[in-house]
Amino acid sequence: MCRHAAWLGAARPLTWLIHEPEHGLLKQSYAPRRQRYGLINADGYGMGWYDPGRAEPVRYRRAVPIWTDANLPALAQVARSTCLLAAVRSATVGMPIEESATAPFADRGWLLSHNGRVVRDALRDLVDDLTHDLADRAESACDAAWVAAAVFLRGRAGLGLGEALTEVVVRAGEKDPAARLNLLACDGASIAATVWGDTLFHHRLHDGVRVASEPLDDLPGWQAVPERSLLTVTRDDVRVQPL
């Protein structure tokens, strides 16, 4: 159910997550090694990055398999930032396959990807005190877009990135015991991610930290994040805490 990855550190191109690693997101789209649900991620892909000249992140999303986009290699070479996020999609059965249903979702300075599935009824109660209609806040009718909308509403209400992810995941998970809620989000200066039903790893390098659903290469240093945990990454710290 999707693969995603992010980087925080020295400025790097998006090829750093997609093409350069032996098992980058391009390879994970058709041959993931640790994906628990689904065999292929061909229902779209997206990427987001931060540019000093813009107040909000830049996004590029397509509803086609990542390997079919002839424009991507050159674009990923020049799209460079200190904070990157990219994802390949395996759509939940019954959910639309369209660009608006493809991660990363965005609101102001936040980007978010959802690896998993959840019934939308489990999300309705999350917004009763914030808005009357979550569907109007979501980019798409898909479950991931509803998750993103719930997180973004909490950000607009004043919660930090990790706090917003935690509240949505824990409360939605209580409503839907079968939910898989691996979220990956960033704000340009930090990364936050949850582990709830699938795998997540982080890799600290001398100039930054990579976070991914599964290791992007076989180099030593990748560490698995335990189930039902929150991972937070800043320039100075990597922290894991239980949900």
Residues classed as catalytic:
2
DSSP 153: H
DSSP 42: -
Phi, then psi, of 170 in degrees rounded to 5:
-65, -45
Residue among 105, 183, 38 at smallest CA distance from 29: 38
Residue among 5, 25, 26, 47 at smallest CA distance from 202: 5
Q: How many whole angstroms separate alpha carbon 45 and alpha carbon 4?
A: 9
Report whether the peptide linkage leading into residue 104 is cis, meaning its omega lies within 30 degrees of zero: yes
Q: How many whole angstroms separate alpha carbon 170 and alpha carbon 231?
A: 14
| Helix, strand, coil percentages in the chain from 3-state DSSP, rounded to 5 | 25, 30, 45
